[in-house]
């Protein structure tokens, strides 16, 4: 049996590991269009700085996180600043006993469950318009964090997680190649496979299907700056939603070992990719009293960020009900633990499809 995974991000890596476990005799190939595994996740070391390419933390209240926590570190500070509203202690958020639902917006739910002040905080975390995003994004099983905090970092960066996951490959061949087409019958470019896991963002997937193209998506960008030393006045960062900027994280304040002594590290987040992001981020930092020195890294993802609206979930459920030999990951995944789960769930769906083919059902 020949199986393929297209996309070497977190969900694709998870899918490959699950394929090895569920199909011990299968030949497995993982295709990645970039030069490294990890997708949006990666860590760069430069001039004494530890720079995250994408997320800098992992949800510590998900079961999957305990398997990822290689050398976990805790935030140095437990508060951030809502621009124009003051400081928030995010280590002690109290939620009212109200269940999220598909029909209810994130903004409406958070207003009742936590208070109106918390809406910008959750909008920043989930990267979308709180009146459009469904509160269903907050559903799912939570466990008590063994570290006593909601989010953890990794001592050597989140990229180390990718490296550790990849060491679990025993039979997976990794091929760094951009795939041009996946067909509904399981052909990947010029080769046929018994089953395929597509782990590429919906709008970027080399698979022609109207449902994928109809999923609502947005864009995001991060510009990382070396700065003069940053004080703890704002805590770990600032949250807002204005002029295409959703906030900034002060990594040198938030985590140990992110910058050389006497220097600062700041990341500015964008929910729109219009104009000169580098200058916009610089001006934003200056307005906060932070003094940028130089740009260290810029990352942008155009039309790759799911918007978890009611429409999104309704389309995603239809996609996950497809019974063909091509299954999809990350459709409903928000955050690293969910991406891990989505890779495994996609393989479970594929296993049912292939079992049905085997027995003619």
- In the chain (361 residues long), the average pLDDT of successive 10-residue segments reads 97 97 96 96 97 94 77 90 85 75 94 86 81 90 84 94 93 97 96 97 93 94 98 92 92 97 97 95 97 98 93 94 93 89 96 73 42
Residue 91 has what pLDDT?
67
- Tell me how far apart the alpha carbons of residues 102 and 118 are, in angstroms, rounded to a whole number: 20
DSSP of 102-169: SSSBHHHHHHHHT-GGGHHHHHHHHTS-TTTBBGGGG-S-----TTSSSEEEETT-THHHHHHHHTT-
Closest CA to 280 of 254, 298, 259: 298
Determine the pLDDT at residue 58.
93
Q: Residue 273's pLDDT is what?
A: 95
User: What's the confidence (pLDDT) of residue 339?
Assistant: 93
The reported pLDDT for the residue numbered 127 is 72
Q: What is the reported pLDDT for 359?
A: 41
What domains are defined for the chain?
Answer: 2-39+160-215+307-359 (3.50.50.60), 43-154+217-306 (3.90.660.20)
Q: Which contiguous run of DSSP H or E holds residue 70?
A: none
Q: How far apart are CA 345 and CA 100, in angstroms?
A: 22
């Amino acid at each position: 049996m020949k199986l393929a995974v297209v996309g070497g991000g977190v969900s694709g890596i998870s899918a490959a590991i699950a394929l090895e476990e569920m199909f011990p005799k299968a030949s497995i190939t993982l295709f990645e269009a970039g030069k490294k595994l990890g997708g949006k996740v990666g860590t760069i070391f430069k001039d004494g700085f530890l720079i995250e390419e994408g997320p800098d933390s992992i949800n510590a209240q998900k079961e999957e996180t305990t398997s990822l926590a290689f050398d976990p570190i805790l935030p140095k500070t437990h508060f951030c600043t809502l621009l124009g509203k003051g400081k928030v202690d995010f280590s002690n958020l109290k939620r009212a006993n109200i269940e999220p639902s598909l029909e209810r917006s994130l903004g409406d739910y958070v207003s009742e469950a936590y208070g109106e002040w918390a809406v910008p905080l959750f909008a920043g975390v989930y990267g979308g318009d709180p009146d459009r995003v469904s509160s269903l994004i907050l559903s799912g099983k939570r466990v008590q964090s063994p570290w006593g905090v909601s989010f953890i970092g990794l001592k050597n960066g989140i990229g180390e997680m990718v490296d550790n996951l990849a060491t679990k490959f025993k039979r997976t061949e990794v091929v760094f190649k951009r795939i041009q087409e996946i067909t509904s019958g399981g052909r990947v470019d010029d080769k046929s496979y018994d089953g395929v896991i597509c782990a590429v963002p919906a709008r970027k997937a080399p698979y022609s299907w109207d449902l994928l193209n109809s999923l609502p998506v947005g864009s995001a960008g991060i510009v990382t700056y070396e700065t003069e030393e940053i004080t703890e006045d704002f805590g770990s960062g600032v949250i807002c939603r204005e002029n295409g900027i959703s906030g900034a994280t002060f990594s040198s304040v938030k985590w140990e070992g992110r910058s050389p002594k006497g220097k600062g590290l700041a990341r500015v987040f964008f929910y729109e990719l219009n104009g000169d992001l580098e200058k916009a981020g610089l001006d934003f930092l200056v307005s906060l009293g932070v003094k940028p020195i130089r740009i260290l890294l810029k990352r942008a993802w155009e039309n790759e960020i799911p918007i978890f609206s009611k429409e999104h979930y309704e389309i995603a459920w239809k996609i996950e009900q497809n019974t063909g030999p091509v299954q999809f990951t990350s459709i409903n995944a928000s955050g690293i633990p969910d991406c891990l789960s989505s890779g495994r769930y996609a393989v479970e769906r594929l296993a049912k499809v292939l079992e049905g083919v085997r027995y003619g059902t």
